Structure formats: structure tokens, C-alpha cells
A and B are shown apart, each in its own frame.
Chain A
């Protein structure tokens, strides 16, 4: 009668969890730089939209996965203050991300 979250991450300290966090940071930096450069002109619209959609799908999905793991972990273990702290931050972060597009 208990769920398994292992298909998301095995723990907050797992390599996959840390790697995904790093990927989010890298993607945001990449997109900031790319958009400053590429939204200056209207040329190659097709390629630019395709690239942007691909990256935003990847970024949103990663942030969602991290937020989901944190929220689900906390919901069955409310006493873990560490989770609570992570959740509060991620909720804020995720709300921002949901507003993308």
C-alpha cells in the first residue's frame, strides 16, 4: 500500500538527481545566451522555433521531474525538514516554469 518513487530518482543524493539539477542550470544559461543572439532578427524562423521548442520541452520536463520527486517525497514524510526546504523552493521554481509558453 506504499508507492515506489524509484522510477523518478532513488534518492536526493543519487547521481541522476544531481545530474538533472546541473542539466537545468546549463540549459537555462544556454537558452538565455541563445535567445539574446537569435531573437534579434527574423531570419531562419523555422529553425529557431524548432530549436527553442525542443529546448523548452527538455527544460520543463526536467524541472517537472525534480519538482515531482521532491513534492511526492515530502507528502509522505512531512517531518523531513530538508524536503520541506527543497519543496518550497522548487514550488516557486516550478510555478515560474509552468508559465513558460
Chain B
């Protein structure tokens, strides 16, 4: 009953949100007002950001019409795509048995230890998309078309310009990041070629279906208590504060680690600013990979903890920095494990790390190129399935270069990644390479003693 009332009433909050921002825009001497009050000074950043966003707001009536039309426009297209992919099944023949399996199950076969499984799954997946490609293309055309229309109406020079402003990132920063990626692509390609060689591909070109193939094996096993000890002790090598924070999370039952029926899979961290705590969900099975997952989530929790003394509004942070503390903490644990691992385990851990960096640098670069080209062409016309496929292949060629086997690429990545279908989050995850770079740089400086650990721990994530 209460929730129904809130649900109905909350849709009306847009009224005072928009009213406030537009009213701020009318104030002549906002700097003077800000400087007369400690409370306002404390919120200076978001006040200025609100004024900036108000400049792109349309009239009240137009905003209401847009918000209603989006329900039957981009939101409806997103729901259609979600329905198509979540109910999509793939017909696959493995060891003489033909099965119809859900898409995520078949995509997960990319991590199989057997090449035959990885390759069969890849072909079955590609074939299956023919059933939904036209509907997905219609959805993507509808969504990207709406984004272009709205970004123009709101006075942005392009959807990218709008995305950068929403992500609090300057165009110069983006351009520097893209230049740095291009400069380092050859190193990633060397790694992929080596992987191709290890997997027996004589051409030294990796087929898409082997990108996630496991190399080496990690036999390390941990009890939950051992995982706690390993994490806390190794966090201590960075800072006592981080270590005692992690220990507190274990001690005060902030972590739900036990896999059980009815519990969702994967892992996440929920920072609870209103009670100055966090909660972490994980499904701990004793593997080393699970230990790094808990360390990663504890990083998110620590990030939240660094912001507990801020007001609720000031504790919100944008996409470019969301993964900083988590990847940082995960890296501390990976580095520690490398010191005690045997040769086979070291190879597996390092390869896993390279695999993940390839995704966050090379693949995200290909996604950026794809989306940019889609926006460019969508200005002119609705794209056909073949055009989407051609743009995706071209983006993969530019990102992976000669390290990816031309015969086995993935022309349908725009169908299975839900991010392309979020009308309010374009170029999804594009700042991740920057985060990766900043973290590596931070760790390098810490190791070289250029940064004092104790003094800078909190500042790093503040």
C-alpha cells in the first residue's frame, strides 16, 4: 500500500527537480550566493552541474511530452531487445546431441577448456542471431535515432558531446585516452598472437571463439577464513586503514558469501550511505578467482566508506571513476598471489589479467568505434542488418588488427551487448580504459615509493 503511494507520487518529483534547476539558471550572482553559505559551498560542484544541465533543458511542456514519448519510443525498443535476448535460445549440437540452450549458457562456453566446445558454441551462436537480427536492428535504429533527435533539441553538438558532459569528462581527456589506446594496441596484439600460437593456430591469428580460452590452471584453494586472512594481510601491504576496514566487513557480517538456492549469482557491492556501511554479495566456492572477486567488491565498499562524511548528494560518482577502488584492490590481491603461485598458476593468473585488460582496452575501443560510426550513419538513414554487421567487423579490425582471424570474427556483438540499447547511457563504459591506465600508474608510483601510502590512501578515492 505504502509503496503504491510512493510509486505514484515519486513520478511527480520531476516537477521540483526541473523547477530548481531552471530557477538556479535565472540567478544572476550565483557565485556570490555560493560564497555566503557553508552548506551551499559544500554542494558547489553539483549546483554548478545543475546549472550546466539546466542550459540543455527544454520548456516544462516539452520535457513532459519527451518523457511520455520515450515510454513508447526508446524504452519500448529497449524492452523489446531485452525480451528478444532473454528468451533467445541457441540450437547447438554437442557430442551428437542437439540441444536448445539459453544464449548466456552458450556464450559461457567461450571459457570452456575444450576448443571443440568453444568453436561449436561460436558457430551455433552466430547462426542463431538470424532469427532476431531484423528486430534488433529496428530497436537499435529506433533508440539511436531518438538519441540524435534529443541531443540536437537540447543543444548538444552530438550524442558524444552529451555523453561526455554527463560523464564529467572533457573531450581533450577522451582524445588523449584514444591516442594512448592506439599507441598501445600493438602490445595487446602481440599477446593475442602468442595466445593463438599456444592454442595451436599456425596463422598466429586468434579466432574470436578463442579470445576467452583458459591458459594454465590455478589450483589454489581457500577456506572462507583463509580468504579473509589473505585479503586483510595483503591489503595491509598498501595501508593499515584499508586492511582494518576489510576486516571489519568480515567481522560485522557485511558479506553474504555462501552460495544457496534462491540466491542470485555473481557478485556486487551495495554502499549504504544512510547507515555508513556496505553489503557485499558473493558466491564463494574457495577458488582464487572468488578471492579476487571479494577483494574487488571490498574495493567498492572502501570507496563508499571514503565518501561517508559527504552528504548523500555529494556521495554520487560518475562512470569514469566507479571501478577505480575495486580494480585497485583486486590488483593488490593478484600481485600478492603471483608471489606464492607456482609457474603454471602464475601463467594462468597473468593470462587472466591480460584477457581482462584486452576487454577493457581493445574491445571497449572497438565498441566505441562501432557506436560512433552508427551515430554518424544514423543521422542520414536507418541502418540495415548488413550495415550493422559491416560496421562491427570494421571496428573489430581496427581494434584487434592482424591478431584476430578475419575468418572468425563476431559481426553480431551489437545484438548480445545490452549496453547499445540504453538510450540514456551512450558509449557505455567508454572511460574504462582511462581508469585502467590511472590505476596502473597509481600502483607503479606506489611501488616506486613516489606516493606515501598512509597519507594518500583515502585521497586516492575521494
Residue positions of A touching B, CB distance < 8 A: 1-5, 7-8, 18, 21-22, 24-25, 28-29, 31-32, 34-36, 39, 42, 45-46, 49-50, 52-54, 56-57, 59-65, 68, 71-72, 75-79, 86, 89-90, 92-93, 96-101
Q: Say how far B109's CB is from chain A's closest CB, in angstroms.
A: 25
Q: Of B12, B16, B254, B262, which is within 8 A of A79 by CB?
A: B262
Q: Please give the distance in Å from A33's CB to the nearest CB on chain B.
A: 9
Collect the chain A residues with CB atoms within 8 Å of residue B50's CB: 101
Residues in B with CB closer than 8 Å to A3 are 253-256, 279-281
Most buried by B among A1, A72, A92: A1
Contact stretch, chosen from B89-97, B185-193, B236-244, B268-276? B268-276
Task: Supply 13 further A-B pairs (C-beta < 8 A) apart from A2-B253, A4-B253, A28-B12.
Answer: A1-B257, A1-B258, A3-B253, A25-B5, A25-B6, A25-B9, A35-B16, A53-B43, A57-B311, A72-B270, A75-B281, A77-B263, A101-B46
Q: How far is the CB of B276 from chain A (nearest CB, A)?
A: 9
Q: State in angstroms the CA–CA spacing of A65 and B13 once bound together.
A: 18
Which B residues fall within an 8 A CB radius of A?
2-7, 9-17, 19-20, 22-24, 26-28, 33, 36-37, 39-40, 43, 46-47, 49-50, 224, 252-258, 260, 262-264, 268, 270, 272-275, 277, 279-281, 284, 311-313, 316
Question: Across the interface, which residues of A come within 8 angstroms of B37, CB to CB?
Answer: 46, 49-50
- Which residue of A8, A42, A96, A97 contacts B27 across the interface (Cβ within 8 Å)? A42
- Among candidates B16, B264, B273, residue contacting A31 with C-beta atoms closer than 8 Å: B16
- Per a CB cutoff under 8 Å, which of B19, B39, B275, B280 touches A7? B275
* In contact, A64 and B274 (Cβ under 8 angstroms): yes
Min Cβ gap B96→A in Å is 35
Asked if residues B277 and A7 are in contact (CB atoms below 8 Å), the reply is yes
In the complex, the answer to whether B2 meets A18 with C-beta atoms within 8 Å is yes
The residue on B at minimum CB distance from A69 is: B272
Measured between alpha carbons, how far is A59 from B9 in the docked complex, in Å?
Answer: 13
CA gap between A92 and B75 in the complex, in Å? 13
Partner of A1, one of B27, B255, B311: B255
Of the residues A5, A61, A78, contact of B312 by C-beta under 8 Å = A61
Minimal beta-carbon separation of B248 from chain A (angstroms): 13
Q: List 27 A-B contacts (CB under 8 A).
A: A1-B255, A1-B258, A3-B281, A4-B252, A5-B279, A7-B272, A7-B277, A31-B13, A32-B15, A32-B16, A39-B19, A42-B28, A46-B36, A46-B37, A57-B312, A57-B313, A60-B312, A60-B313, A62-B274, A63-B10, A64-B312, A65-B274, A75-B268, A75-B281, A89-B7, A99-B17, A100-B13
Tell me the complex Cα distance, A52–B46, Å.
13
Q: Are B17 and A100 in contact (CB under 8 A)?
A: yes
Known A56-B313, A76-B263, A89-B3; contact A35-B20, beta-carbon cutoff 8 A = yes
A residues less than 8 Å from B13 (CB atoms) = 28, 31, 59, 96-97, 100
* B169 CB to nearest chain A CB (Å): 19
Distance of A53 Cα from B263 Cα, bound (Å): 38
State the CA gap A96–B260 with chains docked (Å): 32
Instruction: Report whether B270 and A71 are in contact in the complex, using a CB–CB cutoff of 8 Å.
Output: yes
Task: Tell me whether B224 and A1 are in contact (CB under 8 A).
Answer: yes
Given the contacts A2-B253, A4-B253, A22-B2, A75 and B17 also touching, CB distance less than 8 Å: no
* Cβ–Cβ < 8 Å partners of B28 in chain A: 42
B9→A29 contact, CB < 8 A: yes
B10 touching A46, Cβ below 8 Å: no
**Are the C-beta atoms of A39 and B23 separated by less than 8 Å?**
yes
The 4 closest A-B pairs by CB, nearest first: A21-B2, A35-B16, A1-B258, A3-B256
Alpha-carbon distance between A68 and B276 when the two chains are bound, in angstroms: 13
Q: Which residues of A contact B36 (CB under 8 A)?
A: 46
Q: How far is the CA of A28 from the CA of B313 in the complex (A)?
A: 17
Query: B256 to chain A: which residues have CB within 8 Å?
Result: 1-3, 76
Are B10 and A28 within 8 A (Cβ)? yes
**Which of B15, B33, B255, B270 lies in contact with A49, CB distance below 8 A?**
B33
Q: CA–CA, A98 to B28, complex, Å?
A: 27
Q: How far is the CB of A78 from chain B (nearest CB, A)?
A: 5
Q: How far is the CA of A78 from the CA of B3 in the complex (A)?
A: 19
A3–B317 Cα distance when bound, in Å, is 26
A1 to B270 Cα, complex, angstroms? 17
Q: Which residues of B contact A42 (CB under 8 A)?
A: 23, 26-28
CB of A46 within 8 A of CB of B313, answer no
Residue of A nearest to B255 (CB): A3
Neighbouring B residues of A52 by C-beta, 8 Å: 20
Q: In the complex, what's the smallest C-beta–C-beta distance from A18 to chain B, in angstroms? A: 6
B10 lies within 8 A of A68 (CB): no
Q: Say whether A21 contacts B6, CB under 8 Å.
A: yes
- With most chain B CB atoms within 10 A of its CB, the pick from A28, A32, A76, A77 is A28
Q: Are A24 and B262 also in contact (CB < 8 A) when A35-B20, A61-B273 are?
A: no
- Complex Cα distance, B254 from A4, in Å, reads 7
Q: Give the residue name and chain of the B residue nearest to A38 (CB).
A: B23
- A78–B10 CB distance below 8 A: no
